Amino acid sequence: MNEQPLREAVIETALETNRRGLNQGTSGNVSVRCGEGLLITPSGMAYEDLAPDDLVYMDADGRWPAHQKPSSEWHFHRAILRERDDIHAVIHVHSVYASVVAIQRHDIPPLHYMIAAAGGDSIRCAPYATFGTEALSHNALAALDGRYACLLANHGMIATGPDLARALWLTEEVELLARQYVLSLSLGGPTLLDAEEMQRVLEAFRHYGPRSGAARTASGQRPDAP
Ligand SMILES: [Zn+2]
C-alpha cells in the first residue's frame, strides 16, 4: 500500500490539534492503522518539525526501525488499534478542560446530547497509571469499551475514530464537552439528561452512522453531526 498520503495525513492531523488549541508542545501523539501495523508520531519531536519519514511504522508484532523512536504512548495506540476493529485512528492530547476534569477523576456525565458522539451516555475517566506504561494502556482500553473517547486520570484524553478526520472532530468535541462541564459546575452544576433521553439520542446517532470527514481533514470544518 502507498503509505505516503497516510503519513502526510497524520502530520496534518497533528498540526491541526495545535491550530485548534488542543495540543501544546510535544505532549500529544497521533496514530493511524496502516496495513497490518500502524503509523505513529515519533517521541520528542514538535509537530511543526515533522516530515513524513519521521513517522514511525510499527508492525503487527510491535517492532519498529532501530533508528527511530515512537511516541512514549505507543502502548495504548497499539492496543486500541489491535483490539478494536472499528477504530483506525487514535489521537491523544493534554487539552486544558479535558485534563482539568481528568484531574478531578470525574467521568463527563450526560450534560449535553453530544456526549453520544463518544458512543455512550458518559465519557469515562480511566484510572490513573504512569504515562507510557502497559498499565495505562490496559486502563484506557477498559474505559474505551463500547466508546470512542475517554479521559485519562491526571493526564489528558484519548479520542478515536474510523479515520483521522473523525478522531480529530471527536477530540474537539470532547474538549468542548469538558469545558461545558467545568463551566456548568461554576453555575451550580449541570442538569443531566436522563437515561431514557440518552437512549433516544444514542439510537439517533446509530442511525446517523459514523460519517467520514476524510476530505475535510485540513479545512477546519467538522464532519456532519446531528
Ligand atoms: Zn500524554
Q: Please name the residue that has the C-alpha cell 468542548.
A: 176
Contacts (Cβ under 8 Å, ≥6 apart) of 30: 10, 13, 14, 17, 40, 41, 89, 90, 91, 92, 164
CA–CA separation, 75 and 96 (whole Å): 23
What is the per-residue pLDDT for 209?
53
Per-residue pLDDT at 220? 39
Domain 4-214 part of CATH 3.40.225.10: yes
Q: Split the chain (226 residues) into runs of 10 and give each run's mean pLDDT.
A: 90 98 93 97 96 96 95 97 97 98 98 97 98 98 98 98 97 98 97 97 80 40 46
pLDDT for 49 equals: 96
The reported pLDDT for the residue numbered 2 is 76
| Residues contacting 168, CB < 8 A, separation 6+ | 13, 16, 17, 91, 159, 161, 217
* Active site positions, annotated: 73
Phi–psi pair at 153, nearest 5 degrees: -50, 135
The upper half-sphere exposure of residue 224, i.e. CA atoms within 13 Å in the direction of its Cβ, equals 7
Find the 188 Cα to ligand 1 centroid distance in Å.
Answer: 30
Ligand 1 centroid to residue 112 C-alpha, Å: 26
- Say how many Å lie between the CA of residue 210 and the centre of ligand 1: 26
Q: How far is the CA of 194 from the centre of ligand 1 (A)?
A: 32
Domain ranges (residues) in the chain = 4-214
